[in-house]
Amino acid sequence: MEPVGFWGHLVEIAPYTGYVYPNETAIPWTVLIVVYPYLTGLVAGAFTVSSLYHVFGMERFKPVGQFALLTALAFMLFVPLPLLLHLGHAERAFNTMLTPHWTSAMAMFGMFASFYLLLLMLEIWFMFRPYAVRKAQQTSGFIGRLWHLASLGSDDLSAKAMRYDEKWIFALAVVGIPSAHGLHGYVGFIFGSLKSREWWSSDLMPVVFLFSAIISGVALLIVLYVLSCRLRKIPVDLACLKGLAYVLWGFAMFTLALEGLEFANIMYKGREGIEMIVQYVTGPLLVPFFILQFSLGAVIPITLLTYMIWRGTTGKALIAGVTVSALLVLFQVWMMRWNVVIGGQEIAKTGKGLLTYQMVLFHKEGLLTAIAVAIAPLFVLLAMVRVLPPWSAGAHAHQRSVS
């Protein structure tokens, strides 16, 4: 018999009621695996907003068009981190790329994520190429050489080159839409494709994940945009904000409908183990699902947005209302991720028992790590907008005429 090691003592053992398989008492996926789809979702959502501007030509989103791309990148850079922290052997993570097992949703995710990250970086590179070229010309010394390197040693800003760039940007943005959304739909598939858990095993799971991703990303942009205006001491572009509010409002209602459908499906079909699910939903899930996710996170912001759109609210009231709604939606999606990832594991595979996940504070997979990972992209974004100012007129796509 092997002695119980260091992590073995620290990893929390879940208390349970009813009958659960002995091996289930150690919950495999922790709060970090809640952070992971949350971050991925923010990426997909932020990218959606940038697409609205770059592909669909919605001029009102111009103030956030490029900022959305940088936000997506900042968060995308941190998507692998919670996974790596969670792995038992992070140093072997590249095995998924060396010998990807094609039937595994997770191996596919690695490929998708790398592709999307590359695409995102390319699009941003094209977008900021004129800026980099100008910087390379203006700056001297080491920094100048870095800018030179970043522009691949070419200072070609001719009309022909710019036309080339525009084609690339458009193509990348078009490919980016299915990529970003496919990526996040895939995260839903990671959960939805498992037949071992009734709570996850749903065909709707990828779609639910996708739409909740979009609203979380839009909400994040609203909050960050309002915040950035405060920091830059410029007025909030109300048309842009209202546009974002419309997107949030529409998708939030759609998400709510999808989640309701999925929930109804599980309950109505009432397959094996439904008694435990009912017991779970009416017990431990009451507060996190019905009160926090559903009421506070979904119904209140939707009502608030509906009211403001109906009354034509504007000015400071609109800014405050939309920001509050966005914060609530961000919270809703966090709770949704939590209720899916943790909730699925709290319902025992036996169908005859419930577990309680015990989150620890100080641990490789504890709450503090999770918070750090979730907040870190914001600091990276802060640095990013210093280097590549997404609001400056020098950037590429601002000159692009959209019909």
Partner 1 sequence: MTNPSDPSGKARREFLRRLGGVAVACTGAAACSVAPQSGGPVAGPDPSPVKDYDWTKHHWAFGVDATKCIGCLRCVEACKTENDVPGDAHHFNTWIERYVYLEGETKARIDSHHDPVNIAASGSEKEFRFANRYQDAKVEKAFFVPKLCNQCTHPACVQVCPTGATYKSKDGVVLIDDKYCIGCQYCVQACPYGARYFNPTKGVTQKCYWCYHRITKGLRPACVEACPVGARIFGDRNDKQSPISLFIRNNRVQVLRPESGNEPNVFYVGIDKEVS
Partner 2 sequence: MPRHISRLLLLFVGAGILALVARWYFTADTFYQFGHFRGKAVGEIAAKEPAYQTARYCEDCHTERHAQWSANNHKSVNCEVCHGAAKGHPENGKLPIPADTRKLCTLCHERMAERPRPQPQIDPAQHSPGQQCIVCHNPHAPKLAGVVAKVAGDAAAGAKTHAARCADCHGAAGVSPNDSWPNLAGQHGAYLVGILAAYKSGAQTDAMMSPIAQGLSDAEIQNLATYYAGLRCEAKPRKSRLGDPAAGKALAKNCAACHGDAGIGGNPAWPNIAGQAPEYLVNSLKAFRAGLRKDPMMAGVVRGLSDTDIANLAAFYSAQNCAPAAKVKETP
What b/e string do you get for 361-377 counting C-beta neighbours within 10 Å, with b at 16 or more?
eebebbeebbeebbebb
Task: Provide the residue count of the chain.
Answer: 403
Task: Candidates 19, 101, 303, 314: give the one binding partner 2 (CB under 8 A).
Answer: 101
Amino acid at 157: L
Does 194 sit near partner 1 (CB under 8 A)? yes
Angstrom distance (rounded) from CA 68 to CA 221 = 7
SS3 state of residue 353: strand
| Contact pick of 17, 25, 137, 139 for partner 1 (by CB under 8 A) | 25
The tokens for 181 are: 């959304």
Q: Using the rule CB under 8 A, which residue among 22, 88, 153, 312 binds partner 2?
A: 153
DSSP secondary structure code for residue 60 in this structure: G
Angstrom distances, CA of residue 141 to CA of 129, 134, 368, 384: 19, 14, 41, 21
Match 């912001």 to its residue by tokens.
301
Task: Name which of partner 1, partner 2, none residue 153 binds, using a CB cut-off of 5 to 8 Å depending on partner kind.
Answer: partner 2
CB-based contact 82:32 (threshold 8 Å): yes
Does 362 participate in binding partner 1 (rule CB under 8 A)?
Answer: no
Rounded CA-CA distance 288/73 in Å is 30
Q: Binds 233, which of partner 2, partner 1, none (CB < 5 to 8 A, cut-off by type)?
A: none
Alpha helices (H) in 141-194, listed in sequence order: 141-150, 159-192
Q: Does 400 bind partner 1 (CB under 8 A)?
A: no
**Contact residues for 279 (Cβ-Cβ < 8 A; gap 6+):** 354
The residues, ordered by sequence, that sit 6+ positions from 61 with a Cβ below 8 Å of its Cβ are 49, 50, 52, 53, 68, 240, 243, 244
Question: Minimum Å distance from CB 101 to partner 1?
Answer: 5
Applying CB under 8 A, which part among 3-11, 154-162, 230-238, 391-399 lies near partner 2? 154-162
Site string for partner 1, 93-132 (x = CB under 8 A): xxxx-xxxx-xxxxx--x----------------------
CB of 149 to partner 1, least distance (A): 26
The residue among 93 and 257 lying less far from partner 2, judged by its C-beta, is 93
User: What is the phi/psi pair of residue 89, to 5°?
Assistant: -135, 80
Query: Which C-beta is closer to partner 2: that of 170 or that of 391?
Result: 170
- 58-97 footprint of partner 2 as x/- string (CB under 8 A): ------------------------------------x--x
**Taking CB within 5 to 8 Å according to partner kind, which of partner 2, partner 1, none is near residue 158?**
partner 2
Distance CA 184, CA 194 (A): 16
Q: How many residues form the binding site for partner 1 (CB under 8 A)?
A: 55
Query: Which parts of this chain interact with partner 1 (CB under 8 A)?
Result: 1-8, 11, 13, 18-26, 28-29, 83, 86-96, 98-101, 103-107, 110, 190, 193-197, 272, 345, 349-352
Query: Which parts of this chain interact with partner 2 (CB under 8 A)?
Result: 94, 97-99, 101, 129, 151-154, 156, 158, 160-161, 164, 168
